[in-house]
Chains A and B, each alone.
Chain A
Amino acid sequence: MYPASFTYVRPADLAAAEAAFREADDPRYLAGGMTLIPTMKQRLAAPSTLIDIARVPGLSFIRREKDTLVIGACTRHATVAAAPEVRAAIPALAALAGGIGDPAVRNRGTIGGSLANNDPAADYPSAVLGLGAVIRTTRRTIAADAFFTGMFSTALEPGEIITEVAFPGPRRAGYAKVRNPASGYAMAGVFVAETGKDVRVAVTGAGACVFRAAEMEQALARSFTPDALADVRVAAADLNADIHGSAAYRAQLVRVMAARAAAAALSGA
């Protein structure tokens, strides 16, 4: 498993990173490398230049801005999982981060990398969409609802770098997933949040891209209890079907995980 040869660049700051991006033939930013490096080793990707942003100062932090929790793009999953600020403000987010992959992945992978990659089975996109977070980049801020545009695709423009993610603190939130037995990624994961204004339900793993489940949101808005979801049917039509499970199975998992996420939110876990 050897990648094709490439050039490695370590910029001093974000401006230098973006400049390096403009100058290269077929560049990619490198953060934790947990997605990019394996794809290069399998030769599914062969970028000419890797621009390492993991070492750019000021991208790894967790900070409170009033009711909002702001996490730097290069913050590792393990750091988010263990951070007292996250555990206090949004325990469901800390739990989600602590359940990504395995310890090696959590110690390398970053929140910015996960969001930019937008794997249909990744965990973070469901929290970002479920909490109605805002993604701040080198060029603008993008609302979660506008960020995830499709399978492995986002609203990011070429060369644009995620710098941080701002999560408004919810009244309560919960996350539940069933792991794919082989890969450990989510077969279906549901993030449920009661914000000040509304109820949001975001589903990952089950479709081509993370999505909000409107009927579930309405049901939970009427009554924020697991039982409120009992009669909500999840349509299988647009869900994934592969060797690991049918669309009908994923629809079932979405229903069950939503109820478990609501229960988790109520228990404050």
Chain B
Amino acid sequence: MDEFGIGAPLPRLEDVRFITGRGRYTDDIPMSGLAFMEVVRSPYASARIKGFDISAAQAAPGVLLVLTGEDARAEGFGGYTSKMRKTNRQGEPNFEPPFRILEAERVRFVGDPVAIVVATSAEAARDGADLVLVDYEELPAISDIKAALAKGAPLVWDEVPNNECVFVELGDRKATAAAFAQAAHVAKGEFAISRVAHASIEPRVGIGLYDPVEDRYTLHAAVQAPHTTRNEIATRIFRIPENKLRVISPDVGGAFGGKGYSHPELALVLWAARKCDRPVKWVCTRSEAFLADFQARDNLAQVELALDANGKFLGVKVKNVLNLGAYLTNAGLQCGFHHVGSICGVYTNRNVDWEVSAVFTNTTPIIAMRGAGRPETTFMIERIIDIAAAEMSIDPAELRRRNLIPTAAIPYDTGFVHTYDSGDFEKGFDTAMRMADWAGFPERRARSQARGKLRGIGMAYAIESAAGVRDETAEIRFDTSGAVTIVVGTHSHGQSHETTFRQVVASMLGIAPKDMRMIYGDTDLTPFGRGTGASRSMTVAGSALVCAAERIIARGKQIAAHMLEVEESDIAFDAGVFTTRATNRSVDLAGIARFAHDFRQMPAHLGVGFAERVAFVSDGINFPNGCHVCEVEIDPATGETSIVGYWLSEDVGVVINPLVVKGQAVGGIAQGIGQALCEKIVFDGESAQLLTGSFMDYCMPRAKDLPAIEIKSQEVPAPNNPLGVKGAGESALVGALPAVINAICDALRPLGVKHIEMPATPARIWEAIEQARRAKAA
């Protein structure tokens, strides 16, 4: 089964469907009697609602229904809540804002939903929405962290003085202070991690249905975790039992965390469907997505690294302030806490003093995005290392080498949050150095210089923690014809599960991937599952499939023994066939399945049927890691950067499919390059209006901006799951941000530039060069 088992470079089975236009996305689902919803949103970042006048909208042609925040209040709906609770500066539980699906009294960001219009066509709904009159009293607003914390700043929530929702100290302040006291050098940096949009190619979308006979809702929507969405909408918003709601998520065109948790619109289409007795569809436009899709990252970090005279790391201090936006989403706070452990990197430093505070602003709320805190933390440590290296005149790769956790020291307790259970950082480092020909860089730099260009090289050794949500359910079932169906609670929206999960089962059971059917993404058809996010799916759902396959084999042996009339211990299983050593007779899985469904033949103690469902819980998280090297060339006249080389030596544990792992890495690096070079959500400082409301102003990286990316996998198996896999979905992005910025700063250092904030746009690079030039002249 080598050609399609674990490790085989099997081309993706889903590709044919997608590249021939046969993918089926929510918007493609035909539905008779469909009505269309348009959301009326606040044009102000902060305002009091004095009243609604919906009479003109109600009278508009085609309009079926107009509902406002007042109607939502009358229904007694609940609101979304944060999964995480922390404390404020006084040590009290943090304030949890009411996060309703429509606002009736106050709006707190541009795009805050206040009403919906449902009509017989999308155009009529749009026209109707223009006729909803909302009487606002505009209030002063704030959009960035510094303004939020300024004395006398306008309050986003009256309940939260200073706008500070959370303040927490982590690590060991005393030990770290003592380490700093010993330091020969302390490097300091202040980094602004920009706010970005998930910008999935398929916008958010939902179709709501309501069946009055069963008193039951169905939601078709692009979501990453159907059961989580069901739970949030049923229990939090509608306060109904979960069996009154079915969530179906078909093909999804990218999510990156942005479709992991419920936005108000998904509950709104369901409510609207009940109110107007029709299926109701909402499709987000791109302009609307920039306003109303929850956004990501956006924090400030003050970082200090203490080193001894030889460059050994002694301790790290971090002060991190997160911009939460106007509300607490399900996962907004997590981005500031879950991944602080990454600050230790792959290094032997043991002293960490970490302070985190989270503030409200009048901006779109923040949620997790690919990496969710890990890119930020990795940026802090990997960037401050380069700053220290420059200040101490040590080659930045050499400085890392001096501090690497030795392979022999694994498992390694970092002293702060994590114990790394596997990894070979020395090998990863050496491989990256060779791949990138680090030693040959000075010559390449000289050649660029001769052409009037600046060249820089940057390294980042990222380590992250994956698969933190450790339980998942999977089922393998055979039908009476002997064919197999696999069912999982995760969701595939770019992760290639339809290929890789089949490969896992193929390796175990010897069945060709194309002969398996796979089901996911429907709460009525799949066992409870936690969906896809945090690089968890192969670790937990893949392992659940392994366990289910083991049980299939065990049950198959029992049935085969009965069929072949031998002892169970005489049965051997290989490549899908059960054989007796004694008589040399055999039966394959399909034969077992056919037999197992015939109650007249099956012995009573074995029962009938041939299916196994397993709820797997892993022993712990895993630690994918990778050494990134990026090389850039900059035109000093225009500030334009081209990435001329990118190398990644990574360890995501056992590789199930090298094509898929490479695809995930390339996609992650592209997204990291996007944030490092060009993407940024910008709000006006005065009005908190969004300034980057379309791709004309929000800059996505293009194919031409990306170099050929070279990737090698180390495959150090994770010890705590049966597959030995580590998360492969996010780890490449995590390292890309600092690798790119380090390379740019390396190119600019000879001119006297010390640091550059992301995104390092041509304009920003040129300004930095100019500033350094002026400083030198002065």
Complex contacts, A5 vs chain B, CB 8 Å: 123, 127
- Report if A1-B287 is in contact (Cβ < 8 Å); known contacts: A182-B697, A182-B699: yes
Q: C-beta contact mask, B103-128 vs A, less than 8 Å → 1, else 0?
A: 00000000000000000001100110
Task: Indicate whether A246 reaches chain B with its CB closer than 8 angstroms.
Answer: yes
Q: Nearest chain B CB to A239's CB is how many angstroms away?
A: 12
User: Which B residues are in CB contact (< 8 Å) with A252?
Assistant: 637-638, 766
Specify the chain A residue showing the minimal Cβ separation from B639.
Answer: A249
How many Å lie between the Cα of A11 and that of B123 in the bound state? 27
Interface residues of B in 723-778 (CB under 8 A from A): 761-763, 766-767, 770
How far in angstroms is the closest Cβ of chain A from B684? Answer: 9
Question: Which residue of A2, A5, A43 has the most chain B CB atoms within 10 A of its CB atom?
Answer: A2
Contact with B along A239-269 (1 / 0, CB 8 A): 0000111101100110010000000000000
* In the assembled complex, A223 has its CB within 8 A of some CB on chain B: no
Q: Which residues of A contact B767 (CB under 8 A)?
A: 246, 248-249
- A87 nearest CB across to chain B (Å): 24
Known: A2-B126, A178-B638. A245 touches B763 (CB 8 A): yes
Inter-chain contacts of A2 with B (CB < 8 A): 122-123, 126
**Do B698 and A42 touch across chains, with their CB atoms under 8 A apart?**
no
B314 to chain A, nearest CB (A): 40
Known contacts A182-B697, A249-B766; is-contact A1 B638 (Cβ 8 Å): no
* Residues in B neighbouring A183, C-beta threshold 8 A: 695-697
A181 within 8 A of B: yes
Q: Quick one: which of B115-159 are within 8 Å of A by CB?
A: 122-123, 126-127, 130
Interface residues of A in 1-40 (CB under 8 A from B): 1-2, 4-5
On chain A, the number of residues with a Cβ less than 8 Å from chain B's Cβ atoms is: 20
Which chain A positions have C-beta within 8 A of B761?
181, 244-245
Q: Find residues 113-147 in chain A having any chain B CB closer than 8 Å to their own CB.
A: none
- CA of A249 to CA of B767 in the docked complex: distance in angstroms? 7
> In whole angstroms, how far apart are the Cα atoms of A253 and B640 in the complex?
11
B678 at the binding interface (Cβ < 8 Å): yes
- The smallest beta-carbon distance between A63 and chain B, in angstroms, is 35
The reply to whether B287 and A181 form a contact with Cβ atoms under 8 Å apart is no
Bound-complex Cα distance A114 to B599 (A): 77
Interface string of A147-164 (1 = CB under 8 A from B): 000000000000000000
Q: A244 near B763 (CB under 8 angstroms)? A: yes
Query: Which residue, A4, A243, A256, has most C-beta atoms of chain B within 10 A?
Result: A243
B285 pairs with A182, CB closer than 8 A: no
Q: How far is the CA of A256 from the CA of B682 in the complex (A)?
A: 28
How far apart are the CA atoms of A4 and B130 in the complex, in Å? 10
Flag A164-202 by CB within 8 Å of B: 1 or 0 each: 000000000000001001110001000000000000000
Residues on the B chain within 8 Å of A249, using CB: 639, 763, 766-767
A182–B678 touching, CB < 8 Å? yes
Residues on B with C-beta less than 8 A from A182 are 678, 695-700
A1 and B285 contacting across the interface, CB-CB below 8 Å: yes
A244 vs B763: C-alpha distance in the bound complex, in angstroms? Answer: 7
- By CB atoms of chain A within 10 A, which of B286, B639, B682 has the most? B639
Q: How far is the CB of B124 from chain A (nearest CB, A)?
A: 9
Max chain A C-beta neighbours (<10 A), residue from B285, B638, B692: B638
CA of A171 to CA of B699, assembled, Å? 38
Please tell me if B691 contacts chain A, counting CB pairs below 8 Å.
yes
Identify the interface centre among B127, B640, B700, B763: most chain A CB within 10 Å of its CB: B763
Q: Complex: how many Å from CA A252 to CA B770?
A: 10
Nearest B residue (CB) for A183 = B696
Chain A 61-95 interface mask (CB, 8 Å, partner B; 1/0): 00000000000000000000000000000000000
Q: Which residue of chain B lies nearest to A5 when distances are taken between CB atoms in the complex?
A: B123
Query: Within the complex, which residue of B127, B697, B762 is in contact with A243, where a contact is CB–CB below 8 Å?
Result: B697
User: Among the listed A42, A243, A246, A256, which residue makes an inter-chain contact with B638, where contact means beta carbons less than 8 Å apart?
Assistant: A256
- CB contacts (< 8 Å) of A253 on chain B: these are 638
Chain B residues with Cβ below 8 Å from A43 are 130
Contact with A along B669-696 (1 / 0, CB 8 A): 0000000011000100000000110011
Q: Which of A4, A42, A244, A248 makes the CB contact (< 8 A) with B287? A: A42
* Closest CB in chain B relative to A150 CB, distance in Å: 21
Q: How far is the CA of A42 from the CA of B697 in the complex (A)?
A: 15
Q: How far is the CA of A239 from the CA of B286 in the complex (A)?
A: 30
Which residues of chain A are within 8 angstroms of B130 by Cβ–Cβ distance?
A: 43
User: What are the residues of chain A within 8 A of B127 when measuring CB–CB?
Assistant: 4-5
Chain A nearest CB, measured from B740 CB (Å): 15
**Please, how many angstroms separate the alpha-carbon atoms of A4 and B61 in the complex?**
13
Contacts of A181 in B (CB 8 A): 677-678, 699, 761-762
Contacts of B638 in A (CB 8 A): 178, 252-253, 256
**For the complex, what is the distance from the CA of A246 to the CA of B767, rounded to whole Å?**
9
Closest partner residue, chain B, to A185 (CB atom): B696
Chain A: minimal CB distance from B169 (Å): 36
Q: How far is the CA of A141 from the CA of B691 in the complex (A)?
A: 40
Chain A neighbourhood of B122, CB < 8 A: 2
CB proximity to A under 8 Å, residues B263-309? 285-287
Kindly state the separation between the CA atoms of A244 and B698 in the bound complex, as whole angstroms.
10
* Assembled-state Cα–Cα distance A189/B763 (Å): 15
Complex formed: what's the CA distance from A240 to B127 in Å? 35
Distance from B693 Cβ to chain A, minimum over Cβ atoms (Å): 9
Quick check: A178 and B762 within 8 Å, CB to CB? yes
Distance (whole angstroms) from the CB of A30 to the closest CB of chain B: 19
Please give, as numbers and ranges, the residues of chain B lying within 8 Å of A1 by CB-CB distance. Answer: 285-287
* A246 to B: closest C-beta gap in Å: 7
Q: What distance in Å separates the Cβ of A253 from its nearest Cβ neighbour in chain B?
A: 6
Kindly identify which residue among A243, A245, A248 contacts B770, using a CB–CB cutoff of 8 Å: A248
Q: How far is the CB of A166 from chain B (nearest CB, A)?
A: 32
Contact B640 A178 (CB under 8 A): yes
B706 shortest CB reach to chain A, Å? 14
Contacts of B126 in A (CB 8 A): 2
Contact A243-B637, Cβ < 8 Å, known A178-B762, A181-B699, A182-B678: no
25 residue pairs of the A-B complex, CB under 8 angstroms, read A1-B285, A2-B122, A2-B126, A5-B127, A42-B287, A178-B640, A182-B696, A183-B696, A243-B691, A243-B697, A244-B697, A244-B761, A244-B763, A245-B761, A246-B763, A246-B767, A248-B767, A248-B770, A249-B639, A249-B767, A252-B637, A252-B638, A252-B766, A256-B637, A256-B638
The 6 closest A-B CB pairs, nearest first, are A182-B699, A245-B763, A183-B696, A2-B123, A256-B637, A181-B699
Not counting A187-B763, A248-B767, a sample of 11 additional A-B residue pairs whose C-beta atoms are within 8 angstroms of each other reads A1-B286, A2-B122, A42-B287, A43-B130, A182-B678, A183-B695, A183-B697, A243-B682, A243-B697, A245-B762, A246-B767
